[in-house]
Amino acid sequence: MSDTPLTAKAPFPPAVIAATTHETPGVRHALTAVALTYLALFLLLPLVMVFAEALRGGLAAYLSALTEPDAVSAIELTLLVAAISVPANMLFGLAAAWAIAKHDFRGKTVLTTLIDLPFSVSPVIAGLIYVLLFGLHGFLGPWLREHDVEIVFAVPGIVLATVFVTLPFVARELIPLMQEQGTADEEAALSLGASGFQTFLRVTLPNVRWALLYGVLLCNARAMGEFGAVSVVSGHIRGYTNTLPLHVEVLYNEYNFVAAFAVASLLASLAIVTLIAKSFLQWWYGDALASGPKR
């Protein structure tokens, strides 16, 4: 059994690549310089700009932009939405990956394709689906109105839209790994008398724990940063249904550029934390797999 990493992105170790290329060091350095300049221009510079603009009014203005009531409510709402949609998609992702990777059943390919749907659908469409379904003139709208249930233009709609756009992250991370690992471990556990649930909890879950965490991280970053789908179902009520990305837009439209960038810097920080945690996991997780504690 080979120690193939989760995604087989680099089929050759770096040494092989170096041996098979004939470029002079100059060309190689030039290519590296191009890549680094590109990264600096298109990734680093905008990021630095966000923080520079945010702090242009001084630290006091920065902090007051983050602590005024509408910003606090946007932060709370964003955390709430992530706190519901990320665990929901974690459970779903685990269940779906387990079903797809470890079992054979009719319609498996349909399920696999459906999981990818949110990646291929524009987020705006994702939002509109819920308006068409739960809006006043939508399929379920009149019934909901009669029973005083608010879904679109309220918190539940925002959660639904976020769940939709972040649905594939965990499952997509787990399926290839689970397929790679095969069912041998589970079969061994079952033959030793473990129940199905015990097998899942003690064998399957520990085998994929790092990939799961990785998927959850990506899922969370998207859940907190989603704009398009949430914008359609939010109704943009200040201090009530504005998430952080929507609040950035509101502030920007009010000529309140310092505050807009201050709130944007929160989202940027989240991205940076995610990136660091992700790199750390990749490194750590790759290592754990290579030492092969279970095989």
Residue ranges that bind another protein, judged by CB under 8 A: 76, 80, 83-84, 87-88, 90-91, 131, 134-138, 141, 145, 150, 152-153, 155, 235-240, 250, 252-255, 257
The least CB distance from residue 70 to another protein, in Å, is 10
Beta carbons of 272 and 72 less than 8 angstroms apart = no
Other Cβ atoms less than 10 A from the Cβ of 270: the count is: 17
Specify the residue, 105 or 255, whose C-beta has the smaller distance to another protein.
255
The least CB distance from residue 262 to another protein, in Å, is 17
Distance CA 49, CA 47 (A): 5
Specify the residue, 71 or 289, whose C-beta has the smaller distance to another protein.
71
- Eight-class DSSP state of 41: I
Distance CA 99, CA 181 (A): 14
Reduce the DSSP state of residue 61 to 3 states and report it.
Answer: helix
Specify the residue, 18 or 91, whose C-beta has the smaller distance to another protein.
91
Specify the residue, 70 or 185, whose C-beta has the smaller distance to another protein.
70
Specify the residue, 217 or 289, whose C-beta has the smaller distance to another protein.
217
Specify the residue, 57 or 141, whose C-beta has the smaller distance to another protein.
141
Distance CA 4, CA 126 (A): 35
Torsion sign, CA atoms 232, 116, 39, 216: positive
The least CB distance from residue 204 to another protein, in Å, is 13
CA 223, chain centre distance (Å) = 6
The least CB distance from residue 198 to another protein, in Å, is 13
The least CB distance from residue 87 to another protein, in Å, is 4
The least CB distance from residue 124 to another protein, in Å, is 12
How far apart are the two ends of the chain, measured CA to CA in Å?
8
Distance CA 129, CA 170 (A): 22
